[in-house]
């Protein structure tokens, strides 16, 4: 099991307040720059869609955001397992749920916290908001009120109402159960199933698996008072009574004898080794209590090596994670303008998830998780960052909704729908998540060269506490401690390792190495001593060269070009050595690499071809298939210019080299990125928009990147230094803590 990440209160609060409070913002989808724009957006132009909707209410899905808008609603009475902390305290959780909708399925979501514990008030308030939304996601509302509220709203509203604490868990649990039974050769109608925890999620799990074929009396539910049996009166309600079984068992231990399946949504340690030993052959254990399961996979396998185990934890195999369900359920439901999300749609979601887990796992998913994933006892549920989810699950949900009459607007061309869903994918988060997973697997000793900068120190602490590896900070112990104290991270001094050039026992070896490299380049012994002992960038590079760290991140306090010159004292990182700087731009769900942004001042065609190859290596190491465009102000020879010629010749150089990725040029940036503009040149060899832009010179690369950053709000990662013997990444001086951490993760993954 991977080491559990440590998150301090200071880090959590900093994440939520910087750079602006909260986790999302509203962005206009239409231009709002001229008087005509305003006239169309509001008055008088808006009167036209108003009348259209009044005449035909269904057109609200065409002219407004209703068809892609979900309300995430809570009253804060059952927050995450923290209990009843009130509506206002629930807001961070609901904001988080809203951004998950957007991130995973491109569903717009707004969080709404209602300050009432009266079910009737909540029902009325939510019902009145119906015209605004295409669906309602209820969250963190305590039982039994959640049952009452959801059932009434489903009866009285004509849009999907879905309590994710119930049905989200149930759907993912059902998907895992389908595959677990597939592996063990058992049939659901023959299985004896024990549930511990008869709250909202537990009861929903039972209801769904019974809808899938499990027999009523084969399913034994337990709560804090024991088995829910027919005739029991203590601690009962109508929802528990519906699942009372005819059984002689009265305790969880008795119920577990001979059981095939255990479903736990209860508390840590609820399942004992004795209970597990008494289960049937090839038992299926879904220990879903969070943060600590009813029994850990290690404990379960020690008693029953034949067990298939799933938990709610991301650091164990087979995570039951609701994010695999609710975004895609709503995506499919919204796209057919559904009246409801019914059992058939939930079962379709579960079956599609199960089928996806049985398919070959794409290389980019395996790369992201640092290991080969294949269907089996440790992989019965897909991973949350599988890119196929967005175009696999919603079509199955939509089809079930259409077949059961829940759809107002059926999808006619399902293949076109899948293609449209692929276009909604946001590769940026998958790329960053993949980097993080690979970095955690690598466990690199990361050298942070600038220990006198608070941003660097906070990034170093985050690197270590997130479980990525050991943070080695170059600086003076007293200075580091003082700055960490000021940042509210004083206790981290005992965790990270501070390396001081003044007292390292390796200094003589570093000096000797550096003298051998620089003695014929005008450096005398005094210069060497000053560089090795007093320059943090050179000292850090020497640490890396001697294997006293695995990777290096630097540059947050000095200009990139200056830092690169210093690193060149220790490593061969010049243009003639094949080094290249590649910057990743992340904007509006797209990722584009710009090169060279660091090393080559004015490359010629041979160097441009090398830049393209290095950039392609970087793209592939991040799980993207490279498509290279050599950019200019001309396109395929017009207008004619000496400066554009080299961009045309660079493509010919790649022809000679016989590379295995797509490339073409020269072309303008709109032809490279806009499919409509590219379509005017049917001979273009790119199969789609370019994701690597090779520009004529370093100054044009820098201008392009900074313009995108300042004007378009693009996230910038890099420049990523490629083509150097050791993993070194150079930040920019304007880097945030998160930027520095991302560069450290790139170095840990040896990207470039």
Average pLDDT over residues 674-680: 94
Please state, in angstroms and as integers, the Cα–Cα distance from residue 478 to each residue in 93, 443, 447, 506, following that order: 39, 27, 18, 21
Residue 252 assigned to a binding site: no
Q: Is 96 part of any known ligand binding site?
A: no
Contact, 735 vs 556, CB < 8 A? Answer: yes
Q: Which positions are catalytic?
A: 97
Q: Is pLDDT of 367 > 70?
A: no
Query: φ and ψ at 396, to 5 degrees?
Result: -65, -40
What pLDDT does residue 733 have?
87
Q: What pLDDT score was predicted for residue 433?
A: 73
Q: How confident is the model at residue 427 (pLDDT cuts 50, 70, 90)?
A: low
Whether 364 shows a pLDDT value over 50: the answer reads: yes
Give per-residue pLDDT as tens, 161-201. Answer: 999 989 999 999 999 999 999 999 999 999 999 999 998 89
pLDDT of residue 6: 67
Is 730 annotated as a binding-site member?
Answer: no
Q: Measured between alpha carbons, how far is 647 from 640 in angstroms, rounded to an integer?
A: 12
Domains 52-159 and 577-723 share a fold: yes
The predicted structure's pLDDT at residue 415: 93
As a whole number, mean pLDDT of residues 455-471 equals 93
Look at residues 357, 359, 305, 365 and name the one whose alpha carbon lies nearest to residue 176: 357
The arrangement of secondary structure in 439-569, i.e. its CATH architecture, is 3-Layer(aba) Sandwich (3.40)
Residue 44 confidence (pLDDT): 94
DSSP string, 299-338: HHHHH-TT-EEEES-TTSSSB--GGGTHHHHHHHHHHTT-
Q: Confidence band (pLDDT; 50, 70, 90) for 287?
A: very high
Per-residue pLDDT at 3: 46
The dotted CATH code for 52-159 is: 3.40.50.10380
Residue 4 pLDDT exceeds 60:
no
Encoded tokens for 181: 């039974």
Mean pLDDT to the nearest integer, 270-276: 96
Q: Are 332 and 396 in contact (CB under 8 A)?
A: yes
The C-alpha atoms of residue 437 and residue 415 are separated, in whole angstroms, by: 32
Please give the Cα distance from 689 to 394 (Å, whole number): 25
pLDDT value of residue 359 = 92
| 86 has binding-site annotation | yes
Q: Does the annotation flag 507 for ligand binding?
A: no
Question: Would you say 80 is a known binding-site residue?
Answer: yes
**Section 496-521 average pLDDT:** 92
* 373 labelled binding-site residue: no
Cβ neighbours of residue 320 closer than 8 Å, sequence gap 6 or more: 169, 172, 173, 176, 286, 288, 310, 311, 312, 381
Asked if residue 664 belongs to a known ligand binding site, the reply is no
User: Which pLDDT belongs to residue 1?
Assistant: 40
Q: If we measure between CA atoms, which residue out of 107, 134, 143 comes closest to residue 325?
A: 107
The domain ranges of the chain are 52-159, 164-325+336-424, 439-569, 577-723
- Binning the chain into helix, strand and coil, the percentages to the nearest 5 are 45, 15, 40
Q: Read off the pLDDT band of 624 (50, 70, 90).
A: confident
500 annotated as belonging to a binding site for a ligand: no
The pLDDT tens digits for 575-596 are 888 899 999 988 877 889 999 9
503 is known to lie in a ligand binding site:
no
CATH T-level assignment (fold) for domain 577-723: Rossmann fold (3.40.50)
Q: How confident is the model at residue 745 (pLDDT cuts 50, 70, 90)?
A: very high
83 is in an annotated binding site: yes
- Give the gyration radius of the chain's Cα atoms: 29
Residue 363: predicted pLDDT: 66
Across 691-718, average pLDDT = 90
Per-residue model confidence (pLDDT) at position 490: 85
Say yes or no to pLDDT of 369 above 70: no
- Each residue's pLDDT tens digit, 201-213: 999 999 999 999 9
Is 190 known as a binding-site position?
no
Spatial contact of 77 and 145, defined as CB atoms under 8 Å apart = yes
Task: For domain 164-325+336-424, give the fold.
Answer: Rossmann fold (3.40.50)
Residue with more model confidence, 663 or 519:
663
d(CA 353, CA 355): 5
Tell me the average pLDDT of the chain. 92
pLDDT grade for 137, boundaries at 50, 70 and 90? very high
Close Cβ partners of 678 (under 8 Å, ≥ 6 residues apart): 671, 672, 684, 686, 689
Average pLDDT over residues 426-446: 81
Run of H or E residues at 617? helix 605-621
Q: Which residues pair with 220 in a beta bridge?
A: 194
Rounded to whole angstroms, the Cα distance separating 622 from 221 reads 46
Give the pLDDT mean for 381-385: 89
Closest C-alpha to 437, from 217, 153, 745: 745
């Amino acid at each position: 099991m991977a080491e559990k990440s440590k998150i301090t209160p200071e880090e959590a609060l900093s994440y939520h307040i910087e750079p602006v409070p909260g986790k999302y913002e509203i962005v206009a989808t239409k231009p709002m720059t001229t008087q005509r724009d305003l006239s169309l957006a509001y008055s008088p132009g808006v009167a036209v869609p108003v009348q259209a909707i009044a005449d035909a209410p269904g057109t609200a899905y065409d002219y407004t955001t209703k068809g892609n808008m979900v309300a995430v609603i809570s009253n804060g009475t059952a927050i995450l397992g923290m209990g009843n902390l009130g509506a206002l305290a629930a807001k961070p959780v609901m904001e988080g749920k809203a951004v998950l909708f957007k991130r995973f399925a491109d569903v717009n979501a707004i969080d709404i916290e209602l300050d009432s514990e009266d079910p009737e008030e909540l029902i009325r308030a939510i019902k009145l908001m119906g015209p605004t939304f295409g669906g309602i996601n209820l969250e963190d509302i305590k039982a039994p009120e959640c049952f009452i509220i959801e059932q009434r709203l489903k009866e009285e509203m004509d849009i999907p109402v879905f309590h994710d604490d119930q049905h989200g868990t149930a759907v993912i649990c059902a998907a895992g159960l389908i595959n677990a039974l597939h592996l063990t050769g058992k049939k659901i109608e023959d299985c004896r199933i024990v549930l511990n925890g008869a709250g909202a999620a537990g009861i929903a799990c039972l209801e769904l698996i019974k809808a899938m074929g499990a027999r009523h009396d084969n399913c034994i539910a337990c709560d804090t008072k024991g088995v829910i049996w027919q005739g029991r009166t203590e601690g009962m309600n109508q929802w528990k009574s519906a699942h009372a079984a005819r059984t002689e068992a009265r305790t969880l231990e008795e119920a577990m004898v001979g059981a095939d399946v255990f479903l736990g949504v209860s508390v840590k340690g609820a399942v004992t080794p004795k209970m597990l030993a008494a289960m049937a052959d090839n038992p299926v254990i879904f220990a879903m209590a969070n943060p600590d399961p009813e029994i850990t996979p290690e404990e379960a396998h020690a008693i029953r090596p034949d067990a298939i185990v799933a938990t709610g934890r991301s650091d164990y195999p087979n995570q039951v994670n609701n994010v695999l369900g609710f975004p895609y359920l709503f995506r499919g439901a919204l796209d057919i303008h559904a009246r409801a999300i019914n059992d058939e749609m939930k079962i379709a979601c579960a079956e599609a998830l199960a089928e996806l887990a049985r398919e070959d796992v794409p290389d980019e998913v395996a790369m992201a998780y640092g290991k080969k994933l294949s269907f089996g006892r440790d992989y019965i549920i897909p991973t949350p960052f599988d890119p196929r989810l967005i175009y696999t699950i919603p079509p199955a949900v939509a089809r079930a909704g259409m077949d059961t009459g829940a759809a107002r607007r059926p999808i006619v061309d399902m293949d076109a729908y899948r293609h449209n869903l692929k276009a909604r994918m946001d590769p940026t988060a998958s790329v960053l998540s993949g980097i993080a997973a690979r970095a955690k697997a690598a466990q690199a000793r990361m050298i942070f060269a600038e220990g006198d900068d608070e941003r660097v120190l906070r990034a170093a602490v985050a690197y270590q506490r997130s479980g990525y590896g050991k943070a080695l900070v170059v600086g003076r112990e007293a200075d580091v401690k003082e700055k960490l104290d000021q940042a509210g991270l004083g206790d981290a001094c005992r965790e990270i390792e501070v390396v001081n050039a003044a007292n390292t026992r390796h200094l003589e070896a570093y000096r000797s190495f550096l003298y051998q490299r620089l003695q014929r380049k005008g450096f005398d012994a005094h210069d060497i001593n000053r560089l090795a002992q007093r320059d943090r960038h050179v000292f850090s590079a020497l640490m890396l060269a001697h294997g006293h760290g695995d990777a290096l991140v630097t540059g947050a306090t000095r200009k990139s070009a200056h830092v690169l010159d210093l690193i060149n004292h220790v490593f061969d990182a010049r243009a003639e050595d094949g080094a290249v700087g590649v910057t990743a731009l992340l904007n509006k769900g797209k990722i584009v690499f710009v090169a060279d942004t660091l090393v080559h001042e004015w490359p010629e065609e041979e160097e441009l071809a090398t830049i393209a190859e290095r950039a392609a290596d970087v793209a592939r190491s991040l799980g993207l298939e490279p498509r290279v465009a050599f950019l200019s102000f001309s396109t395929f020879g017009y207008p004619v210019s000496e400066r554009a010629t080299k961009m045309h010749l660079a493509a010919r150089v790649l022809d000679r080299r016989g590379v295995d990725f797509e490339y073409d040029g020269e072309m303008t940036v709109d032809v490279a990125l806009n499919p409509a503009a590219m379509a005017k040149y049917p001979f273009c060899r790119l199969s789609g928009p370019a994701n690597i832009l090779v520009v004529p010179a370093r100054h044009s690369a820098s201008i392009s990147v900074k313009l995108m950053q300042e004007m378009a709000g693009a996230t910038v990662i890099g420049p990523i230094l490629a083509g150097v013997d050791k993993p070194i990444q150079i930040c920019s001086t304007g880097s945030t803590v998160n930027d520095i951490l991302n560069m450290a993760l790139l170095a840990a993954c040896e990207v470039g």
